Structure formats: C-alpha cells, structure tokens
Amino acid sequence: MSAPAPEGTLLSVVVPMYNEEDALPAFAARMRPVLDGLGARYEVLAVDDGSADKTAALLRDLSADWPELRMVRLRRNGGHQAALTAGLDHAVGAYVASIDADLQDPPEKIPEMLELARGEGLDIVYGVREDRSTDTGFKRWTAGGYYWLIRRLVGQQVPSNAGDFRLLSREAVEALKELPDQQQRVYRLLVPWLGFPSGEVRYVREERVAGSTKYPLTKMVRLALDSVTGFSAAPLRLATWLGTVAFFTCLLLLAFCLTVYLFGATVPGWTSLFVGLLFIGGVQLICVGLLGEYVARIYTSVQRRPAYFVAEDTAGPAAPAARATPAAAPAARASADRDPAGRPGA
C-alpha cells in the first residue's frame, strides 16, 4: 500500500510536454473539471521538455488561474522518458498518474484508475488501449510488432498496448527512483519489472487534439532498441547463433570448394566464394553492431550523468533540481542554485 503523501496531496498528474502550445488550451479545459471533481487535493505537474514554442509561457498563464498547475521546465530537450523521470522525481502525491498532453489518452479514466487502485490495494494501474483505430495502419502494425517482440524477450508481465498512461502508488514511484538507471529509461518495461500488484483500465484511443506527433519513426526505432538492449541479452545470444550458422556455412562452402577443385572445375568456385565472403562479412557487421549497442549503454552508465536539469520550477526552490547520481550531484546542485534566468542564486 502507499505511504502518506507530503503535504496531503492525494494525486499528482505528470504531463510531459514538448512543443504542445496548440494542444494546451484543450488539455486544460478537459483535465481541470475531471480533477476538480475528485474532491481531494491534487497537482498537475507539467514538464516542459525544452520546448521551442510558447508552451512554457502558456503554462505560466494557465497556472495564474489554476493554482494546482505546476510547471517544471527542463534546460534542454532530453526526450519523453527523461521528462517523465523529472515528473516522477518532483511529484508529491500519494498516487502519481502520467498522461500525454495530446488527449489521445482520456483524462476521464484517471478517477477510475484511482478508484481501482485504492479499492483493491493496487500499486500500478495500466491504461490499456483496446481500440487503436485512430492510429495509422503503419503505427498499429509497428506497435503490434513491438509488443509481440518485447513480451517474448522480456516476459508476459508486460501488458500489450499499454504505453505511458498509468497510475502509480507512492511506493511504486519511490521504487523507480531507487533504480540506478539514469539514461535510456523505458518505463513501459521498468514498471512491470517491479512486480507490484497491478490492474488495468481499458479505453479507446482517440485522435490527437492538435499539433503533430512527437514520436516519429526515428524515435520509435530508438525506443525499440532501448527496450531490447536495456532489458534482454537476447541480441547477444542472437549474435552467437549467427556466428555459429556462419561457421557451419563456411564448412559447407569449404567442402564444396574442395569438391570443385578435385573435379577440376574451379571457375564455379568464384560464386560460392563471393557469396560466402558477403555472408560472413554481413554476420560480422551485425554482431559488431549489437556489441556496440551494449558497449554504448555501458559507456553511458559509467558517465553517471543526470537524465535532466531543471531550469525552472514554479513550486519554488525547495523542489528537487535534477535526477542525479552521487557523481553528478554537484552539477545538480549548481542547477538548483540558479534562478529561472540562469543567474546564480543568493
């Protein structure tokens, strides 16, 4: 069960945002009535992930009339998962929900998630998409392939069609904060890995209310690579199997070449040799690439850099400044000692 929340806040809603100025008015108009209807203390923690548009300015304007809205502005764009990390680190609620600003995930499901978690003593409630007809055919096909692959590599505990729309208890949030992973987090795999009691709330995925998607094909591929290399050693085993297949293929080609040589027909051997070299070269490049992915993750982990730095927190200077490991703590404190304009604090 959850520990008591600081300041008596029941619910924190974390909303990563990047260039969402077009979606913000509709998001606020739809989210606020839902949360006001809870009859309990809450906060909406909007994490501005280094937006280049007017997202931060609009959040300040909205917070003037909506005191429960809090903005944490990051100094640079670190990606969706880094912004989500910042939100989880700064949230103070007994329960923490995460949702995107595009309203493809309905805010009206958050009270249902909260009721399910409190009623059944659950630490995790996933929002599961039961209808993705608003997505393109390519998106549905790639998403289906992603979850099919991940469930076979990581385990069946990963729910299908569950993204980053979820509710976590304070205990689950604190467990996530204790994990040493700093860079390249994938919460849709980390959260099920915790093994906390969980449930599901199903919903129909809607169309994006405004703006364009912040997950183009390149980011989807990067997410898939981070998911596979961060939670499974299967690619390394695949490299071993490819090497084994290449070895036996070479033995067959060697036997074929010797046979051709004994019969005096050496000209046909050129084709087999050429094909063999291409095959072995391709396998070697694949194996080196897979090893490079894991070495890159080790290199990033050894650097121990924080996933984000906070430029501004409208809750005041008492809020945490960065997701930092002990080695990165001095830099995080330096960020905390500066005001929103970047000048050293008093």
In degrees, rounded to 5, the angle at the alpha carbon of residue 332 between the alpha carbons of residues 328 and 334 is 120
What digits encode the pLDDT tens for the residues 213-254? 666 667 667 666 666 666 666 666 666 677 777 767 776 776
Q: Which residues pair with 199 in a beta bridge?
A: 125
Edge-to-edge order in the sheet of strand 69-74: 198-204, 124-131, 162-169, 95-98, 11-17, 42-48, 69-74, 310-313
User: 3-state class of 178 per DSSP?
Assistant: helix
Identify the pLDDT of residue 7. Answer: 56
Q: Helix 109-120 vs helix 24-36: angle between axes, to the nearest 10 degrees?
A: 40
Among 157, 256, 232, residue whose Cα is nearest residue 200: 157
Structure tokens at 340: 């929103």
Identify the pLDDT of residue 329. Answer: 39
Name every residue whose Cβ is closer than 8 Å to that of residue 297 and which is 6 or more positions away in sequence. 184, 229, 230
Among 30, 12, 62, 13, residue whose Cα is nearest residue 210: 30
Name every residue whose Cβ is closer than 8 Å to that of residue 240 and which is 6 or more positions away in sequence. none
What radius of gyration, in Å, describes the C-alpha atoms of the chain? 25
b/e for 162-193, b at 16 or more Cβ within 10 A? bbbbbbbbbebbebbeeeeebbbbbbbbbbbb
Identify the pLDDT of residue 101. Answer: 92
Identify the pLDDT of residue 345. Answer: 40
| Strand ranges (E), the chain | 11-17, 42-48, 69-74, 95-98, 124-131, 162-169, 198-204, 310-313
Identify the pLDDT of residue 62. Answer: 94
Could you tell me the pTM of the whole model? 0.68
- Residue 120 and residue 1: Cα distance in Å, rounded? 10
In order along the chain (346 residues), what is the average pLDDT of each group of 10 residues? 58 95 94 94 95 93 94 91 92 95 93 96 92 67 68 69 90 91 76 90 86 64 65 65 72 70 64 68 73 70 73 68 40 39 39
DSSP string, 102-127: TSSS-TTHHHHHHHHHHHHT-SEEEE
Identify the pLDDT of residue 252. Answer: 75
What digits encode the pLDDT tens for the residues 97-143? 999 999 999 999 999 999 999 999 999 999 998 876 666 676 666 66
Do 235 and 228 contact (CB within 8 A), yes or no?
yes
Identify the pLDDT of residue 93. Answer: 94
Identify the pLDDT of residue 291. Answer: 76
φ/ψ of residue 268, rounded to 5: -60, -20
Judged on CB neighbours under 10 Å (0-12, 13-18, 19+), 316 is exposed
